[in-house]
Structure 1
């Protein structure tokens, strides 16, 4: 491939757009009730909040990670396609007018919008309504690094990074990618588990409103090993699966497990290391064993507050360092690393361990947000940054919905892939008989998927809604 040398660029066409995929995305949001919900719930003291919130969401769908990047919705013929576009400075003023209460109003919008999206796109949380189905609620937090001491609420947290703390709850099933059901921006030095019980309760209610009628399992890591969180899961009639901290009670329980109780497993991507110096000619680098024992969690609490449950333990053999000649010394006593979690599920030991390890799916959601809107927290004001996160959550769920509409190849695709293939698509606007026609690139590799998304967003609702 070689670039043409006879090119003269001129920025003069008012009918070109660079992100035609915003049309089906925003039409889908509108049909799911986005504008009505914004008008009903958001009472921020600023003119035209519905139009401005929709503009922020549109910019985030294209990959905007700062207020200035929201200018992407104003180029070429975009004002004709979307209508009501504003300058980035206007969006910045709007975001800075948010208080904590207004951010909670956006959370309410996301909760209700997700129910509307699942009604329009039933496969968004596919399997969650099956009688024997299961859905997972994962809770985790992350530190978003910021720079400059003018950032309100920024502080050094557990990761020794100066920033703000964002806590998320996502809902997924074995058949679908996760959607975000709750979020909160907090001070940078906030303990991970603080407020997690309240968020879990919100997340469970949102998942139920979105049509999840089957079994719910809440999952979290050891930073959320808290009595209030586990109690909230029990009250919500959920299974829980929470990594246990290595306190004395847990260590003692592990030592009580008899050697014959350990069942060998291997991870899905285990690597076989060939080695003629060990019996069998090699070993699995990622092999492990699992076992379980009965356990009473939070035994320091009053007896009525203690939680009888199962303690499932996975142990992984510590690999021995090679000697100077490259050989591995024979073991006298095998050493292991132990990973324990508590659960009240009725799954088998191996299935319980497998589902618990899948908690890592929330890390992918966090990575996608940091690769998009949360690449920066754009304002010095805490309220504006909290509103930015709340808008990002709405944009993420919209992107996930259009990916599901596009078909199997995009149903679990990452946000960056959806942006590149379905949203940031160039087009030229033509008008005939009072109808705008979008001329899209010929031979676009994902033309069929884009058309399927457009038809799903603009077509009639599913028969169950008629």
Structure 2
């Protein structure tokens, strides 16, 4: 039996609508930023020699929130009715010129704006920094792979990849997903630990401002195990938990651990062994007193605990299976946590790696300029965009959502502008699955007054 169907005529696209907004959620997040005095902070601190610098910096951040991963991508802010709800945007070519006018000092000013913005967002979005008795500061770096040598500072880094190096300082707690308290772009062949103490100190200062009296734990991998970084935490009364390389003193200390001192632990979920990439679900831990940096003057040496985790090696072909050998992973700490808990806390350092992955999947997918300071400014704006998306997620009741999810659910909402009784409205899709979460965000963003972009 033949079923007859009416032929379906394909619609004809026509790009002629001036009242449609591709990113209808942007006014809410920018309203949240305005409650934290974002524009005022930019106007008061950013001294770059360029007209309307605060507006241009705001446009860069807004473009990144809307999914831009290069300068041309910020052109989405000029589409349809978006400029009407944004309160002013600039062309991508203008933003590119703006980035190229930055110096190293101006990039540091953006970093100061980011820290002050987080401080102002803390009371606006309760829970942004959690309420746990322990806050962690994670340090890590990554290579943003680049091809060719036309970009300033490009070189082969620690992982034999050619590019530029970005260092990040991230603050989080058990109930608080991470925010980025500091970041910096560096030449590709820099040592990971260079100037890490500088970033750690500023992150500690911010953490103590927003959560006074809370214990701080600094975490990092072995590339950051330097005397300066450890003292940056210890001298400020913080705990540290830093992976230590297999120095002769470390090897000797591990060999001196009594066999009866090892405590079995089993992970609720399998974890990745950093040396081999294998999934492991059980191991053993032990600890011993240790003095780090014995080659330094006595007043710079650090007395601490050496906590060691060991995992059985898989026996290679031909080896007697009765002969057991182990892989060892050691870190130093001055915390008063017990051995098992100290090891668990240290393994949570992977939080910062998720932050790096989100940035690389978003605004840090490219470093768009050949000028080093322009790329450094791009990274600084990307950090601000990340933190605003994190604040928006908290305000919307989606605190565990990642940046791509926030962009898809709360920002890239198609909307239509309408005017009634001297007021401007954004008509959004009926049955939007995350309308409740967006309403929560909107309520927080407009608690003191409507965002400037929505003023009638």
Q: What band does the TM-score fall into relative to the shorter chain?
A: over 0.9
Check if 1:94 corresponds to 2:89.
no
Determine the structure 2 residue equivalent to 1:12: 16
Determine the structure 1 residue equivalent to 2:298: 303
Check if 1:29 corresponds to 2:33.
yes
SS at match of 1:51: helix
Are 2:168 and 2:184, in contact at CA under 8 Å, matched by a contact in 1?
yes
Determine the structure 2 residue equivalent to 1:121: 125
Determine the structure 2 residue equivalent to 1:427: 415
1:204-243 alignment, distance < 5 Å: 204-243=204-243
Q: What is the root-mean-square deviation of aligned Cα atoms in Å?
A: 1.6
Encode CA deviations 1:339-397: one digit per residue, 9 max, x unaligned: 00000000010000000000110000000000011000000001100000000111000
Question: 5+ unaligned residues in a row in structure 1: which ranges?
Answer: 272-283, 324-328, 462-466
Pairing partner for 1:350 from 340, 343, 351: 340
How far is 1:270 from its partner?
A: 3.2
1:76-115 alignment, distance < 5 Å: 76-115=80-119
1:445-456 alignment, distance < 5 Å: 445-456=433-444
1:32-431 alignment, distance < 5 Å: 32-128=36-132, 133-270=133-270, 285-320=280-315, 331-407=321-397, 410-431=398-419
**TM-score by structure 1 length?**
0.91
How far is 1:148 from its partner?
A: 2.5
CA distance in 2: counterparts of 1:244 and 1:384, whole angstroms: 35
Are 1:234 and 1:240, in contact at CA under 8 Å, matched by a contact in 2?
yes
How far is 1:155 from its partner?
A: 1.0
SS at match of 1:333: coil
Are 1:143 and 1:163, in contact at CA under 8 Å, matched by a contact in 2?
yes
How far is 1:212 from its partner?
A: 4.9
CA distance in 1: counterparts of 2:264 and 2:362, whole angstroms: 40
CA distance in 1: counterparts of 2:152 and 2:429, whole angstroms: 45
Are 1:312 and 1:349, in contact at CA under 8 Å, matched by a contact in 2?
yes
How far is 1:305 from its partner?
A: 1.5
CA distance in 2: counterparts of 1:349 and 1:25, whole angstroms: 42
Q: 1:4 to 1:218 in 2, by over 3 A?
A: farther
CA distance in 1: counterparts of 2:213 and 2:78, whole angstroms: 42
SS at match of 2:128: helix
How far is 1:12 from its partner?
A: 1.0
Encode CA deviations 1:87-108: one digit per residue, 9 max, x unaligned: 0000000000000000011011
Q: 1:322 to 1:421 in 2, by over 3 A?
A: farther
Question: 5+ unaligned residues in a row in structure 2: which ranges?
Answer: 1-6, 272-278, 450-456
Determine the structure 2 residue equivalent to 1:326: none
Determine the structure 1 residue equivalent to 2:452: none
CA distance in 1: counterparts of 2:395 and 2:30, whole angstroms: 13
CA distance in 2: counterparts of 1:5 and 1:451, whole angstroms: 37
Are 1:118 and 1:211, in contact at CA under 8 Å, matched by a contact in 2?
no
CA distance in 2: counterparts of 1:154 and 1:124, whole angstroms: 36
CA distance in 2: counterparts of 1:401 and 1:101, whole angstroms: 27
CA distance in 1: counterparts of 2:9 and 2:355, whole angstroms: 42
How far is 1:304 from its partner?
A: 1.9
How far is 1:153 from its partner?
A: 1.0
Encode CA deviations 1:202-236: one digit per residue, 9 max, x unaligned: 11112223335300000000000100100111111
CA distance in 1: counterparts of 2:401 and 2:247, whole angstroms: 39
- More divergent stretch after superposition (309-318 vs 154-163): 154-163
Are 2:35 and 2:448, in contact at CA under 8 Å, matched by a contact in 1?
no
SS at match of 2:299: helix
Matched residue pairs, number? 436
SS at match of 1:404: helix
CA distance in 1: counterparts of 2:447 and 2:320, whole angstroms: 67
CA distance in 1: counterparts of 2:268 and 2:103, whole angstroms: 46
How far is 1:146 from its partner?
A: 1.5
CA distance in 2: counterparts of 1:119 and 1:455, whole angstroms: 15
CA distance in 1: counterparts of 2:128 and 2:29, whole angstroms: 14
